[in-house]
Structure 1
Amino acid sequence: MRAKTVLIALPNRDFDPSEVAISWQLLRAAGVRVRFATADGQAAVGDPLMLSGEGLDPWARVPGLRRLKLLGLLLRARRDVREAYARLLLDSEFRQPLRYQQLQVDDFAGLLLPGGHWARGMRDYLESQTLQAFVGAFFASAKPVAAICHGVLLAARSPGAAGRSALYGRKTTALTWAMEKSAWDLTRFYGRCWDPDYYRTYREAAGEPAGYMSVQAEVSRALASPADFLDVPADAPQRLRKISGLHRDGPDDSRPAWVVVDGNYVSARWPGDVHTFAQRFIELLG
């Protein structure tokens, strides 16, 4: 039987390594062929700060101290992710991605949209009208779609019926403003203070309230109702584990994860949800 093929769309640089490498690893283990696409057909590069943790601490610019990590150890990808990412770099499909312009819905059984936050690379991905048109067409096809973190923002910007978002009428989660702000505060006040907006892809303009350009706020504006954005409810089991930002899920531990499935669409918040997120996507693929 011919293996199902899933597309992972990527920015040319600065994607989140956990959300891509773990998703790829679990899909391949499930017998799914994984292809990739970038804007120019060149192999993508993950966010180097999330891989090494170097450059996130306040002393990182002092000669000889860059490798000394404290905040960097907290925020960087875990060892299993770094090992999966090293294997990903050797994958022939990853090394020879398609271009956005080549993408055809009929060529794929599913679509996965990962995230990242560093504006240097992510904005081209999030703002590509070519990619948005493809994502909108994929949603319209009723094939499974998975989006995590800023990948949900790409889905929200993609066209659906009647000039609305492809997410209009759907329930979703994404990077919450609480999580985005806590990581932003950590890096701008206690870490990478010379680059205070490292953790914000978009900043508010003058007169806009705090969080107006956060992932949660923009995604919510694209939905049929703000109530369709689902965060961890107050009575959820393991709620503190899910919302603290200190715990990440694993192959045998879904307790920290918060994943929302609505029909053929699955969404998640951040790298700490990725194992559960990828497994739910695999279930949708059948």
Structure 2
Amino acid sequence: MAHVLIPVPHQDFDPSEVAVPWRILIEAGHRATFATPDGRVASADPIMLSGEGLDPWGFVPGLRKLRLFGLLLRANADARRDYAALERDVAFNAPIAWDAIDTERFDGLLLPGGHCARGVRSYLESEQLQRVAAAFFAADKPVAAICHGVVLAARSRGADGRSMLHGRRTTALTWALEKSAWSLTRVTRFWDPHYYRTYPDGAGQPAGYMSVQQEVTRALARPDDFLDVPADATHHRRKTSGLVRDSDTDDTPAFVVRDGNYVSARWPGDVHQFARQFAALLETAAETRP
């Protein structure tokens, strides 16, 4: 059994990317400790749970519950079920503070994502968490990162000043997926057009410069080390459309990359396969621990 650390921001993390891996890791016999900025219980992005506020009329209080695009973009039924169970979990309700993390206590690290800037920026920009991630990589302990969580991994630095992902292969939220959701929500959520972009491009920057894919790629040894679904991949359309998510019984929509003791994935549509691969990696690492 492995002991996994799951740091999250105080609010706005993606419910799918926390709850589904938590459930799969627990079912595999592992245990989890959650960490938040100050040790208070965290909460997921409420929009990703309800879907309210993702339609053009979503800013009108009386019409928020009439959802169309919101039902398409929110966490699916499996993730909402797992999140409801997570909210009742003893460990989730007794998190430690980020500054209390002792990496030697843990066998693995899970870095989930989330895109809403209010809470997630504090998570991605935390120097404390960047040092934590760097320590796990330096010790060659299993690390799993998904979606924006890969940005946190990319920002972690080794003694040489390079990203801990330098020399590794990874995936993350692709610009194609990020742009597709952003293009839709800046129309349907026109009063908050950058809801789906944690870091909008700045003046003079090319389109997508501040996207997850581009920031992560800039941290790598070679641009080719950022991996996306190959053009000739089986089930290519299911993997790239952004409309189909994997499940406990169907991993055909998923795309997950493993490089040594590091596992990465793109978005909530990969989360079941991502979690299963991480659980297996933890088991393998446990067998080789002295």
TM-score after normalising by structure 2: 0.96
Q: Does residue 107 of the first structure (1) align with residue 105 of the second (2)?
A: yes
Q: 1:138 and 1:154 mapped to 2: Cα distance?
A: 13
Partner of 1:134: 132
2:109 partner amino acid: L
Q: 2:60 and 2:95 mapped to 1: Cα distance?
A: 38
1:273 partner amino acid: D
Which stretches in structure 1 are left out of the alignment for 5+ residues? none
Partner of 2:24: 26
Match of 2:269 among 269, 272, 281: 272
- Write out per-residue CA displacement over residues 108-154 of structure 1, whole angstroms, 9 at most, x where no aligned residue: 11100000000000000000001101110110010100000000000
2:99 partner amino acid: Q
Match of 1:220 among 200, 211, 217: 217
Q: Does residue 179 of the first structure (1) align with residue 177 of the second (2)?
A: yes
Q: Does residue 82 of the first structure (1) align with residue 69 of the second (2)?
A: no
Partner of 2:279: 282
Q: 2:59 and 2:166 mapped to 1: Cα distance?
A: 45
Partner of 1:123: 121
1:1-286 pair list within 5 angstroms:
3-189=1-187, 191-286=188-283
Q: 1:140 and 1:63 mapped to 2: Cα distance?
A: 49
Q: 1:112 and 1:187 mapped to 2: Cα distance?
A: 28
Q: Secondary structure at the match of 2:244?
A: coil
Report the Cα offset of residue 175 of structure 1: 0.1
1:285 partner amino acid: L
Report the Cα offset of residue 203 of structure 1: 1.1
Report the Cα offset of residue 62 of structure 1: 2.5
TM-score after normalising by structure 1: 0.98
Contact 1:242–1:258, Cα closer than 8 Å, also in 2: yes
1:141 partner amino acid: A
- Write out per-residue CA displacement over residues 18-69 of structure 1, whole angstroms, 9 at most, x where no aligned residue: 0100000001101111110011111110000000001110011224211100
Given the superposition, is the C-alpha separation of residues 233 and 4 from structure 1 closer, same or farther in structure 2, using an over 3 Å criterion? same
Moved more, 250-259 or 77-86: 77-86
Identity level (%):
65
Q: 1:210 and 1:4 mapped to 2: Cα distance?
A: 41
Q: 1:63 and 1:54 mapped to 2: Cα distance?
A: 10
2:251 partner amino acid: S
Q: 1:61 and 1:199 mapped to 2: Cα distance?
A: 16
Q: 1:63 and 1:5 mapped to 2: Cα distance?
A: 43
Compute the RMSD of aligned alpha carbons.
0.7
2:33 partner amino acid: R
Q: 2:55 and 2:244 mapped to 1: Cα distance?
A: 20
Contact 1:187–1:196, Cα closer than 8 Å, also in 2: yes
Q: 2:99 and 2:59 mapped to 1: Cα distance?
A: 40
Number of matched pairs: 283
2:110 partner amino acid: L
Q: Secondary structure at the match of 1:203?
A: coil
Report the Cα offset of residue 278 of structure 1: 0.1
Q: 1:160 and 1:30 mapped to 2: Cα distance?
A: 31
Q: Secondary structure at the match of 1:111?
A: strand
1:122 partner amino acid: V
Contact 1:160–1:167, Cα closer than 8 Å, also in 2: no
Partner of 2:287: none
Q: Secondary structure at the match of 1:163?
A: coil
Regions of 4+ moved over 6 Å: none
